[in-house]
Amino acid sequence: MLYVVATPIGNLNDISPRAISALNSSDMILAEDTRVTRVLLSRYGIDKPMLSYHQHSKIKKINDIIGFLKAGKTLSLVSDAGTPGINDPGNFLIQEILKELPGLKIVPVPGPNAAIAALSVSGFPSDKFIFLGFPPHKKGRQTFFKRIGDIEETVVFYESKHRILKALQELREMSNIAERPIMVARELTKQFETIYRGTAGDTLEQLNKTKVLGEFVVVVKAK
């Protein structure tokens, strides 16, 4: 059996009792970065073997994981923060597991997700929305932002501290987005959580007055 366990996106108190139970009942925990996950496990007194699985893992690592599952082991998959498989290397692992073990019981243990957390406080229409993950760094970036302008629904995407100002500049320069309300969420659930609201130009101006640190979620209101 494989548990897909959501973990906190910043505040360690956000883990659910069911997530703790799933981790405790597992024979092994598959972690994106074992150092990050060890902090969480130590907080809750969970002492289980860990195996790293991330976007650079080789096929042998995937085969090893499948081997453990074939042997009847119970594994838990976690990411560094949030829900595994959502804009996360865990998605590919689950695809590969299902190819080899289509009948395997895979159990979601839901919990924190930065995109949903940001959307929930945006005040924008949320009955339909599009999640786009991270914009490309270079190739395809212009197309990414052009697509946002063409989408009727509310759009949610992630951006790093290194490119958030550039992203807001790109949104500001697009005539069909420039005046649409947006929300920028920084460091959700953490000590320095901050929400910026306004147009792309407004939020860019606000961020330019601060030290740009942390992780960002951008929500663009539906047309």
CB 221 within 8 A of CB 181: yes
**Percentage of the chain exceeding pLDDT 70:** 100
Residues 167, 182, single domain; the answer is yes
Instruction: Tell me phi and psi for residue 162, to 5 degrees.
Output: -75, -25
Q: Is the pLDDT of residue 204 over 90?
A: yes
Which CATH number characterizes residue 95's domain?
A: 3.40.1010.10
- Last residue of a domain, which of 109, 142, 176? 109
How sure is the predictor about 70, in pLDDT bands with cuts at 50, 70 and 90? very high
Percent share of the chain, pLDDT over 90? 93
> Burial letters for 23-46: b for 16+ Cβ neighbours within 10 Å, e otherwise?
beebeebbbbebeebeebbeeeeb
Structure confidence at residue 131 (pLDDT): 98
* Domain shared by 125 and 170, yes or no: yes
Indicate if 14 and 72 belong to the same structural domain. yes
Together in a domain, 103 and 175:
no
* Domain boundary, last residue among 90, 109, 128: 109
* Structural domain that includes position 46: 2-109
Helices marked H in 173-218 — which ranges? 200-208
Question: Which whole number is the average pLDDT over 182-210?
Answer: 97
pLDDT digits (tens, 9 = 90+) for 136-184: 998 999 999 999 999 999 999 999 999 999 999 999 999 889 899 999 9
pLDDT (0 to 100) of residue 58: 80
Average pLDDT over residues 21-36: 97
Burial, 18: exposed, middle or buried (Cβ in 10 Å; 0-12, 13-18, 19+)?
Answer: middle
Q: How many domains, the chain?
A: 2
Pairing relation of β-strands 182-186 and 216-220? antiparallel
Looking at the structure, tell me whether residues 98 and 121 fall in a common domain. Answer: no
Look up the CATH number of the domain holding residue 143: 3.30.950.10
pLDDT band at 124 (very low <50, low <70, confident <90, very high): very high
Are residues 96 and 124 part of one domain?
A: no
Residues 31, 99 within the same domain: yes
* 83 and 152 inside one domain: no
Mean pLDDT confidence for 93-105: 96
The pLDDT assigned to 220 comes to: 98
Name the domain boundary from 66, 84, 109: 109
- C-alpha dist (Å) from residue 46 to 5, 40, 79, 112, 221: 14, 8, 16, 19, 41
**Are 66 and 104 contained in the same domain?**
yes
Q: Are residues 202 and 138 in the same domain?
A: yes
The average confidence (pLDDT) of the chain is 96
* 128 and 150 co-located in one domain: yes
pLDDT above 90: residue 55: no
